[in-house]
Structure 1
Amino acid sequence: MPVAVQAARIIAKVQANTSLQKQLKAEGADVVAIAKAAGVRNYN
């Protein structure tokens, strides 16, 4: 799956979820851990 498609899916998921937005905006946020907990997977 192309990286652009993966990125678009992740962005859509974050835009639809205010809890994810707050977690990602927190200082020192572990973006990878938050993404994994939200169900984002590495498709490569």
Structure 2
Amino acid sequence: PIKSLIPLFKAVNEDIKIAKEALNNLEAKYVRLVLETMKIGIKDE
């Protein structure tokens, strides 16, 4: 039964990798958005 679980673990690992990459992309976009917003805020002052 353990051998049949190995593909499942591999699939879950792939999903986790994809999720982490997606999170990193979201984080980068969010940081960029915040920085852009701050730049605009500084210009207004």
Q: TM-score range with shorter-chain normalisation? A: 0.3 to 0.5
Larger relative helix fraction: 2
Normalised to the residue count of structure 1, the TM-score between the two structures is 0.37
- The structure whose Rg is larger is 2
Q: Relative contact order (alpha carbons < 8 A, sep ≥ 6): 1 or 2 greater?
A: 1
Normalised to the residue count of structure 2, the TM-score between the two structures is 0.37
